[in-house]
Amino acid sequence: MTVNPLTTYEGAVLGREVCKGVIHVTQSDIDDFCALFGYDDPAFRPDAPGGAVAPTSMGLTYGLRLGWEQQVFPPGVIRMGDENVHGHPVHAGDVLTTVLTIADRFEKKGRKFLSYEQVTRNQDGQMVCSITFAAILP
Amino acid sequence: MADIPLAQGMRLPHVEIEITQAMIDRYAAISGDFNPVHVDPDRAAASPFGSTIAHGCIPMEPLFQALARAMGRPLLPFGTRVSLRYRAPARPGDRIRVEGAVADRKDDAWQVPFACLNQSGQTVIDGTCLVPATDGQGAGPA
């Protein structure tokens, strides 16, 4: 798989949709995530009143997943920091759609930076997670 | 809308995770990030890191869990904003804990500076959380 030219420093177009991805969240996904990190609140279980929700950080993980699946980030890119906003909870059965854009492009001390923005919404259009992170390009 | 039960000076509860290669491998499957620097010990050994390193979200976990415990709820409130910087990689064998305390209430949000530290006291991640002072679920950013 080759890197999308819209995500290179030279080819990036600020604000233009680079790619979009869809994830179907299952109870099994939630169970796996909870087991991995030791979440044991009843709210994450399938018999929770109103249905299970996913831990907040799972929404973050799924928000980032599009970038890895579609190889958006050039090899050797170094993620410097994040600005994340957490919105509506993720439920088992949700269909999450993430859209990735390039939010900013700049040079500093001879290094090239891109700022990636990934916004994830559920099937009702509600914002689940917004992730903006700056990265040094190789 | 209910007030979020934070107060100035409140310290985040102790939460610590131990990072293992198995954890990193499982997280790679969940996140879709199979960068060799995370999952291929041989290639990672030849990289500038000298070993595999954890995905950036893994050492953030103590922060999420400590904030939720501090508020006595499973999820962070709608509109919680986390600004952070990655200071050092986290590696298999590291024990990562979070330290932080509620600093101030400003613009209807609690400010919670935090640092995720490894077993040597080295800062791996630091930053600030802005937690809405009231539970505004459904009324935050569109």
Q: What average pLDDT does chain A have?
A: 90
Asked whether residue B140 carries a pLDDT value surpassing 50, the answer given is no
Instruction: Indicate the class that CATH gives domain A5-26+54-136.
Output: alpha beta
Asked whether residue B115 carries a pLDDT value surpassing 60, the answer given is yes
Closest CA to A83 of A122, A134, A127: A134
Closest CA to A2 of A63, A75, A65: A75
Span A75-80, average pLDDT: 78
- CB burial string A53-73: b at 16+ within 10 A, e below: bbbbbbbbbbbbbbbbbbebb
- B32 at interface of A, judged by CB pairs closer than 8 A: yes
pLDDT on residue A64: 83
What DSSP string describes A60-75?
HHHHHHHHHHTT-SPT
Total residues belonging to chain A: 138
- How many Cβ contacts (< 8 angstroms) between chains A and B? 96
Q: Would you state the torsion angle of the CA atoms of residues A8, B34, A60, A22, taken in this order, to the nearest 10 degrees?
A: 80
Span B30-50, average pLDDT: 92
CB contact under 8 A, A43 and B78: no
Query: How far apart are alpha carbons B73 and B57 in whole angstroms?
Result: 21
Q: B10 or A71, which is more confident?
A: B10
Amino acid at position A16, single letter = R
Mutate to test the interface with A, among B25, B57, B85, B123 (most CBs of A within 10 A): B57
pLDDT in tens, A115-127: 999 999 999 999 9
Closest CA to B54 of B92, B98, B95, B16: B92
- B138 at interface of A, judged by CB pairs closer than 8 A: yes
A 77-136 residues with CB < 8 A to B: 79-89, 127, 130
* ipTM for the predicted complex: 0.92
pLDDT in tens, A21-72: 999 999 999 999 999 999 999 999 999 998 999 999 999 998 888 877 777 7
User: pTM score, two decimals?
Assistant: 0.92
Kindly list the domain boundaries of chain A, sorted by start residue: 5-26+54-136
